[in-house]
Amino acid sequence: MTYDYMIVGSGIAGLYTALLAQKQGSVLILTKGSIDDCNTKHAQGGIAAAIGEGDSPGLHFQDTIAAGAGLSNPEAVHLLVAEAADRIADLSNLGVPFDTVNGEVALAKEAAHTVPRILHAGGDATGEHIEVTLSRRVRQSGIEVLEYCLATEIIVEKGVVRGVRALDCRTGSVEEFLCHNLVLATGGAGRLFKYTTNSEVATGDGVALAFSAGAEIMDMEFFQFHPTAIRLPGTHPFLISEAVRGEGGILRNVEGYRFMPDYTPDGELAPRDVVTRGILYEMQKTRSDRVFLDITHLPHHVITTRFPHIYRFCLEHGLDITKGLIPVAPAAHYMMGGVKTNTWGETNISGLYAVGEVGCTGLHGANRLASNSLLEVLVFSKRVVQKPKERPAEDTAGMGEQSYYSLPRRNFSGGALLSCTALQTLMWENVGIIRSGDTLEKAANTVSAWEKTLEKPSDRSSYELNNLVLTGRLMAEAALIRKESRGAHFRTDYPEPSPDWLKHIVLRRD
């Protein structure tokens, strides 16, 4: 059978696209874990939409463009803010229970948003409510879902997508699935780094598969590090949402000193990259691996009702955050770059689409504004399915100047043996929050040497390791090419932004 739509991934992007695509024809979802193994269900803060009094799509546009540090695609941002209210209404109609106050939708404030505009559900359990609601809808709608099925290769014939090869993770067999339209909704690549808020599925599969198939990959040097993830021995870096600082959370160093105002007048509510670097410098200054987030001055009931999930998680780990400080440090969080698409989700390969964290319209530019990613999925998934068939493929001129590169040949050999941990440590130390030409060169050389040692994968973890290696290489090479600092990309050897680099870096296969 040839499906009209095949969708790889079952986070918000995969499930939402599938529900819309079902109205157009047959749909198959492939997903490498269980249906709800994804980053989406961990989203806490919420979804941005300019629906409050005193807010407007114009203000939301300005905030998004400001966060993007000169590289956001204005066309994509315009669509995002203009369609936000309608897409939120769609989600609400599907059954997502957004929180209300006195009968009105509750709106929270987050860093770098000028006004409160973040809708949330279950306090800080927005992603879980979205994932549960959408997966229930998909089940009810009878859409075919193949769980534990990992896409390993995109089949392209004469420049047109024909389907994918996929591994049945339970039996080890590989099968071909055919389709007219293939939608990558495979999420991000946080697992490239030693410390990350991402779930274990975020291994860059979509970027690696698409690049190998001949798709263009853009903005890979821009990876967002979240300033505040829990830093406790033996505990994964559980996210402490931006909204906690939005409610008045204060950052203190290990000596109890409030340091953020020393770095920026916006203090704790500065954009993520600024707060992240402030924390890192402070950790270096005090020779500590953490700082503290203090919300002990907030009323008890505000903490437990607004952040029930964070409150419970910390309590289970021996921390009562109504009374004590929360140990935090930055962690890898969100991939701004990805498979280059136009604003209809189309890639340069006919029939191949990318949406959600794996896709890159250039919307986020050099830095994502908090809570814009869930909204991005709603707006652009709809456009993937909506695109009128007779409409010619749109070019991507709206995203601004683009420079094209292929991966340089590297002859480096030697170095450490490849393992997932070695790769994550290398990336964290050399392609992390603060980079330089030397560290990036080291990373690119080491990863390219590892590429040559890769064995033919046979199970989920070996496929994922291969994908991480290729994605890591793309990230290190893009970061080396960009000789400036902008948004989330900070290089000590080029610490300032440069007008020469007001352009996107696009990588493609030879």
Ligand X SMILES: Cc1cc2nc3c(=O)[nH]c(=O)nc-3n(C[C@H](O)[C@H](O)[C@H](O)COP(=O)(O)OP(=O)(O)OC[C@H]3O[C@@H](n4cnc5c(N)ncnc54)[C@H](O)[C@@H]3O)c2cc1C
Which of 3, 5, 7, 9 touches ligand X by CB under 6 A?
Answer: 9
Q: Indicate which residue of 272, 277, 435, 482 is catalytic.
A: 272
CB nearer to ligand X: pick between 10 and 446: 10
CB nearer to ligand X: pick between 184 and 251: 184
CB nearer to ligand X: pick between 38 and 274: 38
Give alpha helix (H) positions in 68-114. Answer: 74-94
Q: Is 12 near ligand X (CB under 6 A)? A: yes
State the Cα–Cα distance between residues 411 and 427, nearest whole angstrom: 20
Q: Is 328 near ligand X (CB under 6 A)? A: no
| Residue-wise DSSP of 468-493 | HHHHHHHHHHHHHH--S-BTTB-BTT
HEC states along 252-304?
ECCCCCECHHHHCCCHHHCCHHHHHHHHHHHHHHCCCCCEEEECCCCCHHHHH
CB nearer to ligand X: pick between 181 and 446: 181
Window 180-199: contact mask with ligand X (x via CB under 6 A): -----xxx---------xx-
State the Cα–Cα distance between residues 297 and 248, nearest whole angstrom: 9
Which of 6, 7, 13, 145 touches ligand X by CB under 6 A?
Answer: 13
**Residues in binding contact with ligand X, number by CB under 6 A:** 42
- Min. distance of Cβ 260 from ligand X in angstroms? 21
| Residue owning tokens 């609400």 | 92
Which of 19, 21, 30, 91 touches ligand X by CB under 6 A?
Answer: 30
Q: Which residue, among 254, 283, 218, 271, has the nearest Cα to 474 in the 3D structure?
A: 218
Which of 3, 5, 7, 10 touches ligand X by CB under 6 A?
Answer: 10
Handedness of CA 486, 488, 492, 493 (dihedral sign): negative
Q: Is 381 near ligand X (CB under 6 A)? A: no
Which of 22, 37, 366, 477 touches ligand X by CB under 6 A?
Answer: 37
Q: Is 487 near ligand X (CB under 6 A)? A: no
Q: Is 31 near ligand X (CB under 6 A)? A: yes
Name which of residues 230 to 259 contact ligand X (CB under 6 A).
239
Is 290 in the active site? no
Helix, strand or coil for residue 223?
strand
Q: Is 330 near ligand X (CB under 6 A)? A: no
Stretch of 7-15, 175-183, 288-296, 345-353 lying at the interface with ligand X (CB under 6 A): 7-15
State the Cα–Cα distance between residues 412 and 296, nearest whole angstrom: 52
Contacts of 235 (CB under 8 A, 6+ apart): 317
Pairing between strand 504-507 and 217-218?
antiparallel
Q: Please name the amino acid found at residue 498.
A: S
Q: Is 163 near ligand X (CB under 6 A)? A: no
State the Cα–Cα distance between residues 447 and 469, nearest whole angstrom: 6
214, burial (CB in 10 Å: exposed 0-12, middle 13-18, buried 19+)? middle
The residue sitting closest to ligand X, measured at its beta carbon, is 11
Q: List residues binding ligand X (CB under 6 A).
A: 8-14, 30-33, 37-40, 42-47, 126-127, 150-151, 185-187, 197-198, 201-202, 205, 239, 334, 356-357, 371-374, 377
Which positions are annotated as active-site residues? 272
